[in-house]
Amino acid sequence: MKNEVFFGEGMKVVKEKYPDLYDVIVKLNDTVFTGKTLDYKTQKLIAIGIVASKCDEVAIEKQMKSAMKELGITKEEIADVLRVVLLTSGMPAFTKAMKILEKL
CB 49 within 8 A of CB 87: no
How many domains in the chain? 2
Residue 2 confidence (pLDDT): 54
High-pLDDT (> 90) share of the chain, %: 73
Residue 67 confidence (pLDDT): 94
CB 54 within 8 A of CB 22: no
Q: What are the backbone dihedrals phi and psi of residue 53, each rounded to the nearest 5 degrees, phi first?
A: -65, -25
Q: How far is CA 48 from the centre of its chain?
A: 5
Lowest-confidence pick of 26-30, 45-49, 51-55? 26-30
Residue type (1 letter), 38? L
Same-domain pairing of 30 and 42? no
Asked whether residue 1 is domain-assigned, the answer is no
| Cβ-based neighbours of 70, under 8 Å, separated by 6 or more | 2, 44
What is the pTM for the complete model shown? 0.82
Q: Is the dihedral of CA 11, 12, 17, 19 positive or negative?
A: positive
Average pLDDT over every residue of 1-20 = 77
Same-domain pairing of 46 and 95? yes
Same-domain pairing of 59 and 24? no
Residue 34 confidence (pLDDT): 80
Residue ranges making up the domain that contains 59: 38-103
